[in-house]
Amino acid sequence: MSIIKIDNNNIKINTENIVYSKGYSRPSKSILDPNLYNKYKSIKDSFNLFEELRDNLLDECLNYMFSSVININENIYTLDGECYNLISFNESKFYNITNKLNCKYSNYIIVLNEIYTYPKIQYIYILSGYFENVRICMSKISNFIVIVCYNKLKNLDFILKNDLYIKDFNVKVDEVVIKYLKDDNDDYFRNIINLNDKITKKCESLSQLTNLNREICIISKYYKALIEKKCNMNCNCRPSNIFYSDLLECYICENCLVLTRFLTV
């Protein structure tokens, strides 16, 4: 997991050079490994291990980037003392989000589930021409991405067609950004494939299955406490409270929810 920061780059977009298409863009080889992606795709639908943590993922990502996170209402956050407008972006067209980014606010948090297509990363890269900086942060727990756009310098001055998909903005994205993004995507796929393999093995035996439910429950509790910064540090971690998680490959104290690998030696 990395936080990718793109400083203002004065990038210019020429709407005449945009290539449109009638269908979705396919995932791009430059930002993911197709073999890993296909394997991940084949297990993704049945795999929502930490679904109950969905509502915590925004806080998780914001906590990586800001020391003070205050939720004012459904669409407004105060982050390190500055106001941000929250926008969800879960479509393949860029028309609506462009309008939303031209609201009165200076700072925006965009949430989305994935960046697998080249036009999407091109679009985020284009945004860095309109803000002082743009940061991309991925959740470590699930497929969830936060884009923080800081200090709008001017309104987005390009107009996109509403009725078509965009195949190529004809903008070249910095190779470093592409590399970080690809590493994060591939790491995430590998992690899910690995977890899925372990769970499939466990599901073969009934006794292991009971343990599995307990394990998932404890891991979810651990993640929640971690995100909400509620791990109880005043704990003696008695042996009876220590639980070995095969999925995370480490020990968790069920009482304070501190996770440790030291006990393995």
Can you give the binding site for Zn ion, defined by CB under 5 A?
A: 235, 237, 253, 255-256
DSSP H stretches of helix in the chain:
34-44, 57-65, 95-100, 118-127, 175-202, 206-227
Using CA atoms, how far apart are residues 77 and 110, in angstroms rounded to an integer?
12
- CB-nearer residue toward Zn ion: 59 or 254: 254
Q: Which residue is associated with the tokens 């404890």?
A: 218
Q: How far is the CB of 111 from Zn ion (least distance, A)?
A: 33
Count CA atoms within 13 Å of residue 188 on its CB side.
27
- CB-nearer residue toward Zn ion: 170 or 255: 255
- CB-nearer residue toward Zn ion: 69 or 237: 237
Is the CB of residue 37 less than 8 Å from the CB of residue 189? yes
State whether residue 24 is helix, strand or coil. Answer: coil
Q: How far is the CB of 53 from Zn ion (least distance, A)?
A: 21
- CB-nearer residue toward Zn ion: 162 or 260: 260
Is the CB of residue 187 less than 8 Å from the CB of residue 19? no
Q: How far is the CB of 193 from Zn ion (least distance, A)?
A: 31
| Both structure tokens of 110 | 């965009």
Q: How far is the CB of 253 from Zn ion (least distance, A)?
A: 3
Going by the DSSP 8-state scheme, the letter that residue 256 receives in this structure is T
- CB-nearer residue toward Zn ion: 69 or 250: 250
State whether residue 136 is helix, strand or coil. Answer: strand
- CB-nearer residue toward Zn ion: 219 or 253: 253
What phi, psi does 72 have (nearest 5°)?
-85, -55
Pairing state between β 259-260 and 165-168: unpaired
Q: How far is the CB of 17 from Zn ion (least distance, A)?
A: 58
Count CA atoms within 13 Å of residue 148 on its CB side.
24
Q: How far is the CB of 108 from Zn ion (least distance, A)?
A: 40
